[in-house]
Structures are given as C-alpha cells and as structure tokens.
Amino acid sequence: MQQNKTFIKQLIFLFFYLLIGLNIYSQNNGQPVSIQKLNNEIEKLKNDKTLRHASWSVCVMSVKTAKVISEYKSEQSLIPASTMKIVTIGAALSILGKDYQFETTLEYDGSIDSKGILHGNIYIKGGGDSSFGSDRFDSITKIENIYNKWIQAIKKKGISKIEGSVIADAEIFDRDLIPSTWIWKDIGNYYGTGTCGLSVNENLYKLIFKPGNRIGYKAKILRTEPDVPDINFINNVKTGRQGSGDNVIIYGSPYSNTRFLEGTVPLGRKEFTVKGSMPDPAYFCAYSFSKYITEKGITINKPATTVRILKLKGIYNESQKNKISNYLSPTLEDIIKMTNINSINSYAETLLKFIGWLKLNDGSTESGIKAVKQFWLSKNVDLSGFLMKDGSGLSPVNRITTKQLSEMLCVITKDKVYEPFFNSLPVAGKSGSIKNLFKATTAENNLRAKSGYLSGVRAYAGYVNNKKNEQIVFSVIINNYQGSPFLMKKKLEKLMILIAETE
C-alpha cells in the first residue's frame, strides 16, 4: 500500500514537472530558454534610443543544419566595414590555397661586359606581394635583408657598374592605387594605403613630429622613416593636450608628393609618430634599392624610375629580361592571419586585385570583385542586395546582409581551407580587435570574429561554440547609431555573449 502511494506521488510530481516545462516551452514560442534570452536582447535593442535612427541586422545560424537560429532584418543590405574582409579573404584563400607564395623578381636587361659594366637596367618586378618589406613577419621579410640578398646576387653576376637605372615594374596590377569610392579623409593615412603591383613596407612611412611646448603651438616635422623622396608637407599640425594621442589627418592623393597635414599631436612628448600612405610605392622601392646599391659600392648612372613613369613619358622600351634573383613571400596562410588580426586594408585590397589578375587577366579592383562574386555564386550564396566596391571594407559604399555573411561563414567550414581561415580570426579575450572583450565569459577563448568599424558603423562576424558544443556562425551590423562607439561595442559584446550561451 505504501509503495502504491509513493508511486502515485512520483507520478503527480512528474506530471507537474512536465506541465511546468511545457508551459515554459510554450511561453518561449517553442524555443529553448537560452534562445529566448537572445531574442529578448534583440527586442531590447529595438527599443534602444541610440538605435532609434539606425539600420541594423543580426543573423545567427547553425553550422550543422545551416538553418537560422535567430535573426533580425537579416536580409537588409548594410555597410559592413572590415567584415567585408571575410568575403575577400574567404574567396582568395580557397582559390589560391593556404601555401601560396607571391614572387618578386630581380632582373636585368642588356649585357654585362668583361669589366663588369651592365649596359642596361636593373628591374624589380612585382608579383602582387602585399607583405614585401614588412616588419610584421620574421626577419626574412625585412627590406634590408631582401636588399642584402639581392646585392649579393648582383655581385655574383659580376656587375660592378650599371649604365642604366633601377626600374620598378608594378604592371601586374592597374595603376589605380586606391578604390574609387574611398574618401579623401582616409587615403593619405596609414589605414588608407592602397595596393600596388610592387608594394613595399606596407606602402607606409612614419612621420615624426616634435610637439610644441604649449597647447596650440605648432608641431615641428623632424623626419620621415624611411626617407621618402621628393615628398612635400604643408604642415598645419598643432600641439594638443597631454595624452590626447594621434589626431593627425594626412590629406594627399596617389602619385602626388604634396601632403597636407591637419590636427594635433600630444603635449609632453619628445617625439611623436604618425603614419601615412606612400605616394608611389613602386617608385620608392626603385629609389631605395638604387640608393642601397650605391652605398654598397656599385655605380648607377641614371636615377631610379618605374615602368609607369617611363610609359607616361613615352620612352619605355620592352626588352628581354634575365633573372638575377627572386624573393618569395610568407605563405598565404600567414598573410591572411596578419590581415585579419591587424585588419590591414592594403593586404585585403592586394588579394582582391591578385585574384582578378589570376582569374580574369586583369589586376584591377573591378576584376577582383567579379572574381569574388563568381566564387560565392558558385557556392550557392544568394548575392541579392550585395554591393562590393573594395576588398577591405573601407569604402562606405559597400553593402551586404548579415544573412549573406553568415552563409559565407558556413560555406567556408566545408572548404579545404577552413582551418587556416578559422585560425586567422581574432580570438575573444586574446587577440586582435576583440582582445579586451569577453573576459571571464563563455565567449572568452571560444568566440572568433572579424570586427568592422567606420564612423557610425559597428559590425562583427564569426564563429562560436554554444553550450552544447555545437558550432554557430553569427553576424551583426549596425549603421548610423548614435552615442559613443565604446558603448555600442559593449552592447554588441553582450549580444554575442548570449549567442555563445545558446543551447
């Protein structure tokens, strides 16, 4: 009898447990509580006053099922900022393979006589290597080490004098260093460096100022590093408050040696460095190598130049070239990791042009975009509403939906290059732009994402494992928000933590 009573109590308890569970399930519209929490946060953002005039979108998908878990206006086309790098890098990595290396070649034309005189020119032929001369990798990529290797090869050929010039050949790409839709305020600065068939030193120079003794006093230009030939600065930079950081804007267009400087550098610093974009990277490469050769005791009769300049003057003669030496870049796997972790715009733009050259025999932004779109269409990604104007996301004219971004991230998981692509993304709480986010949460060391930031734009897209250890892809883009970028970043951080906590 007692056993029957116990059994009946257990049945009653089970009944009420199931009833409560069904009630919760029904209140959440058939969704797990964790998904409802995520959706509640999205609803909260809908009523956020900082988003009153904003356009924004979220898309969260399961990699396993490729189905949408949660979304808000996921088919609205928005400005993606640097999350556009996912589009470019995903396509380039799949097309080229993770082990691809770019080649830069040292050549000569004419003949070498018995006295070691080269009756001709030295050529540096670019192969679309964005990392050439960068100090971000190991010592092999540093320009002085490459030049040292090349000077040894020149001497080994028996050359002791050059009657001609050092000529840079960047003709693998077109001559437009920047995409047409980049804005004037960006293109003279370090993040607005474009791409060149013969890039060098990431197409950057450092500009070193000496701040004034008081706020408002003029800041003096001390030097550039490296020495950029013929550059002319019109300097209106003043001294700002102590600790105010880099507020300098450099105005200047490609191939123009005039640079206009506005803004402030901070008080109380002996020297302060800002970075700008080189007017003509290929010419700088020819100039700097010519100078290096001379310093090593080899005479050069004519000044450095480029194929572009010679063609503009109508004096370029095509000739038979002979290889002296070459240089191979780090692998594409290493380059894309550097691109995503540091969000290097010029690296992404170079990849875009290179696959345009490879696929369509035209190293232009437009051909690169065609090749990228062909790639994603071949993977059955619907590109309705997609508008691509560059490879890096610096253009404010780009448009993409969060659904497209999430679908692309899903597609890459099935590709042979998924592992290097995944490993290239910044890690929550550990690296890149999300190094200081997600501390002591389920997202830390779990979530990987590419961030995007322009004025009025915040975006994130990437991967995370949920509480069931299932892989989730997500993308979120906000355009035209009000308030501080920092506060918007914190709101999106909370949203992404809830994505990590789904089950």
Domain limits of the chain? 27-98+333-500, 103-175+281-330, 190-277
Q: Is residue 24 pLDDT above 50, yes or no?
A: no
Q: Among residues 369, 332, 379, 322, which one has the least CA distance to residue 349? A: 369
| Domain covering 103-175+281-330 in this structure, CATH number | 3.50.80.20
Q: Is residue 368 pLDDT above 60, yes or no?
A: yes
Instruction: Give residue 6's pLDDT.
Output: 54
Distance CA 445, CA 464 (A): 9
The band of 21, judged by pLDDT with boundaries at 50, 70 and 90, is very low
Q: Which two tokens stand for residue 171?
A: 């003709």
Residues 143, 149, 151, 154, CA torsion sign: negative
Q: Which two tokens stand for residue 500?
A: 């990590």
Indicate the pTM of the whole model: 0.91
What amino acid occupies position 9? Answer: K
Domain 27-98+333-500 indexed as CATH 3.40.710.10: yes
Q: Is residue 18 pLDDT above 80, yes or no?
A: no
β-strand 55-62 against 471-479: which pairing, if any?
A: antiparallel
Q: Which phi and psi (to 5°) does residue 136 adopt?
A: -80, -20
| Alpha carbon of residue 327 to chain centroid | 23
Q: What percent of the chain has pLDDT over 70?
A: 94
Nearest 5°: the CA angle 330, 437, 495 is 115
The band of 3, judged by pLDDT with boundaries at 50, 70 and 90, is low
Is 103-175+281-330 in the same CATH topology as 27-98+333-500? no
Q: Is residue 330 pLDDT above 60, yes or no?
A: yes
Distance CA 502, CA 32 (A): 8
For residues 464-489, average pLDDT? 96
Bigger pLDDT: 173 or 140? 173
- How does pLDDT run across 396-437, given as a tens digit for each residue? 999 999 999 999 999 999 999 999 999 999 999 999 999 999
